[in-house]
Structures are given as C-alpha cells and as structure tokens.
C-alpha cells in the first residue's frame, strides 16, 4: 500500500495569500493517477485536481497542481474565503489511498 504524507498539518493564512500544500508518497506514483480534494465541514469531498495537474469541472484557475514521482503539490494562488477547508491528496496507482489531510485556516 502506498502511504501518502501531507504537510503541513495546518496552514494558517490570510485571504489573498498564497497557499502551498505538499504530499509525499512512500513510493513513486504515476502522474496520471494523482488527485486533490477539498472538503468543507458537513460536506462530501470535492474533486479539485486529477491527473496531478488537471482542474476538475468548475474549479477556478487559482488552484493548480504539480509534481511527479513521490512529491506532489497543490497551490492556491490567492486564497478566497471559501478556500478555507481541509485538503486531501489521493493516489490511485494500484489500490487507492488518501493523505491524512491539510487544514487551511484563517490566520
């Protein structure tokens, strides 16, 4: 099983700032099989990024994904109030697994 470790656990930022979230895999993951999700309280997760860098339908372009091999990242260029949430990375190169999540909170 591929273990995903996200960092930091919590990111405290202000609206308008840039957020960079990291996800490290315990072994190399094919770039086609990596995704990011956003979850707000009481809601199911929402797909943000698939295939490492492709935005899902309706996702604004302030969200971008990148990386390869074992190191992946999600960047939010300018935080909007609705972006304060928990973010999960996922790999599906084999049996899917999720990271433990990064909470982006208002500073």
Partner 1 sequence: QVQMVQSGPEVKKPGSSVKVSCRASGGTSNNYVIGWVRQAPGQGLEWLGRIIPALDLRDYAQKFQGRVTITADGSSRTAFLELSDLRSDDTAIYYCAKERTNTDPALESWGQGTLVTVSS
Residues that bind partner 1 (CB under 8 A): 1, 32-33, 35, 37, 44-47, 50-51, 56-57, 88, 90, 92, 95-101
By beta-carbon proximity to partner 1, the closer residue of 5 and 75 is 5
* Residue 4 CB, nearest approach to partner 1 (Å): 10
Beta bridge partners of residue 13, listed in sequence order: 106
Please identify, using beta-carbon distances, which residue of 15 and 60 lies nearer to partner 1: 60
Pairing of strands 63-76, 54-55: unpaired
Kindly provide the b/e burial profile for residues 41-63, where b requires at least 16 CB atoms within 10 angstroms of the residue's own CB: eeeebeebbbebbebeeebeeeb
CB of 90 vs partner 1, minimal distance in Å: 8
């Amino acid at each position: 099983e591929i273990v995903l470790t996200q960092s930091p656990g919590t990111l405290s930022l202000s609206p308008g700032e840039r957020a960079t979230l990291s996800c490290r895999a315990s072994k190399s993951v094919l770039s086609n099989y990596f995704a990011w999700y956003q979850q707000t309280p009481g809601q199911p997760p929402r797909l943000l990024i698939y295939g490492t860098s492709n935005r899902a339908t309706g996702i604004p372009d302030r969200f971008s994904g990148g990386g390869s091999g074992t190191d992946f990242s999600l960047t939010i260029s300018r935080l909007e109030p609705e972006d304060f949430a928990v973010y999960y990375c996922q790999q599906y190169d084999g049996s899917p697994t999720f990271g433990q999540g990064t909470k982006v909170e208002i500073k």
